[in-house]
A and B are shown apart, each in its own frame.
Chain A
């Protein structure tokens, strides 16, 4: 998870740029702190008890000093984005609702939850809430019908999950690839790299969406492929447990430029230890015209 705190600074250079290119809002930022959500495992089991000094972070290749490494103390923001398209009718829908309720039951005081139920219609509730019963009621009312707007729903889920408070997890369940989104995969992956939500896509069936894999990699999450929804509750519970076992480390960037793409390398001193974190983050708004992209539409 990456949370970039910025303080906009007025600069002459920025003002000149704005005058020259009136179509682009341009200002500079200074990154005050970066938060990174990190999963540390050894032989598959989470590693506990690490201190800030145990972490080694390179931001664009520049070594940083980790100020904080918290574990299990920070409340969670859990967004369930669940595919309710026509193919989820019947037993699968029942499994999905049960699994969603299991996640809600596993939340602790202070944790918040939200639901995004999607087919081609993306239905968002009222945002993150500690009122889990309300989320549960929305989940129980969901019906399976329609096409699949996986990409649109991913964007909505991440936007709901982004918060200055807590650590954010998006569980993205789907049984297929996108067939009706407006947004392009590329644009939503771009948003993911700018945000602080860790995405765990869960895909059932034989079809694999490259978008889901790329989204999990971009956010430091993990793609979970299952053949059947029979044990979906256990899958969802496993994700929640794994997410609680992650560290949130924070540092104040030093010796790196404020804007643009920051490549991250997070390591833990010690042999045989596996570290999973997002590969980098975007900081600051777009300050130059991007190279032309091929839109979906």
Chain B
């Protein structure tokens, strides 16, 4: 991640989105020649010194190694861990987990410009406001972390630390909008933990986001410009995947409120209005509050409108407007509803309300703009 991506979290619209590109990896221009230094020993020292979430000098040093050297160090560390596991399996697992944590921190927290490139690195497209803005290399350190955890004994799937690592990285990737890496990370996690609600839910969010207008537009522009291919499927296919993951999340964890809201929305966009309405009604009955109640009211309004129940739709949109009085979406929804009913004056009144709202993004405060982001 570049500093710009991380530091601009205060404004969700300043950050970029990242898509996986299946274009072939190119030989990086700045791979250093191999070194005779004992990288494995240095790696062990760096892991020992690493403070999770706060990469210090040893981790930064590791991040500067060429891919071939860091991979050699990982192989050496794995050999050491296997040897250690014969007598002290917990210590071996702890070493691997700490190593995976350090590499995830390197991938996430150290600016990409400082991270050495490997011949194995793939590129990802950088996307902003539906536009492809060039490519970057995907950090090798996510994969190095996963590779370390593959050696956890007796089996990674039986280790609670591995599960926590996969969950944390999944949410970090979505939060950072590093969707290219999430495409790789989530299936690996699900293979080990197929019934984990957090990983299923994260997978649903990923595919719901792939179905969004912004990413669909970006993917289409990449293809149209003959710039390669992306892992983004047509919107309907992505929505169907998202629906399945949210449904599976709820099967494991029926009280997962956010999954219920998103499931309801996706069902509605797929045209399954009755099921969508039922799912969203459950959210209301569960006592949702704040922005998730706001989303539920908006989505329910949309469903009611879709089946021609404009009166009920109006009630939901009005409740959404009451929850977030500065939000523009419910006002626009009410305006459109009035116009469709032939009430031009009512439609214009709602738009005039927009003129009274604060102009700035933050003061306008419409949660809809951040719906696809992970909180």
Instruction: Show the binding face of A for B, using Cβ within 8 Å.
Output: 6, 22-25, 29, 85-87, 119-127, 145-148, 152, 155-156, 159-160, 162, 176-183, 187-188, 190-191, 194-195, 206-207, 284-286, 289-290, 292-297
Contact = CB atoms under 8 A, between A and B. Distances in A.
Given A190-B340, A206-B224, A292-B308, 8 more contacts: A121-B360, A121-B364, A147-B13, A156-B332, A159-B351, A176-B130, A182-B368, A293-B306
Contacts, number: 162
A59 B29 CA distance: 68
Interface string B339-358: 11111100110111011000
B339 A194 contact: yes
Nearest to A8: B342
B307 A289 contact: yes
A176 B129 contact: yes
A159 B342 CA distance: 12
27 contacts: A23-B309, A25-B310, A87-B129, A87-B131, A120-B361, A123-B354, A126-B355, A127-B352, A145-B13, A147-B214, A148-B129, A152-B329, A176-B129, A179-B217, A183-B336, A187-B336, A191-B339, A191-B340, A191-B347, A194-B340, A285-B342, A286-B341, A289-B307, A290-B308, A292-B271, A292-B306, A293-B306
Contacts of A127: 352, 355
Interface string B296-332: 0011001101111111100000000000000011001
A70 to B, nearest CB: 22
A187 B341 CA distance: 12
Interface residues of B, number: 55
Question: Of B214, B221, B312, which is in contact with the most chain A CB atoms at under 10 Å from its CB?
Answer: B214
A292 B355 CA distance: 32
Contact of A180 (B128, B214, B305, B343): B214
A85 B131 CA distance: 12
B130 A295 contact: no
A155 B335 contact: yes
Q: 5 closest A-B pairs (Cβ-Cβ)? A: A285-B342, A289-B308, A182-B329, A179-B214, A159-B351
Contacts of A297: 265, 268-269, 298-299, 302
B interface SS class: helix
B369 interface: yes
Contacts of B307: 289, 292
Contacts of A289: 307-308
Interface of B: 13, 128-131, 212-214, 217, 221, 224-225, 265, 268-271, 273, 298-299, 302-303, 305-312, 328-329, 332-333, 335-336, 339-344, 347-348, 350-352, 354-355, 359-361, 364, 368-369
Given A126-B355, A194-B342, A296 B269 contact: yes
Contacts of A285: 341-343
A284 B339 CA distance: 10
B217 A176 contact: yes
A291 to B, nearest CB: 8
B336 A188 contact: yes
B217 A156 contact: no
Contact of B369 (A86, A120, A294): A120
B244 to A, nearest CB: 19
A197 to B, nearest CB: 11
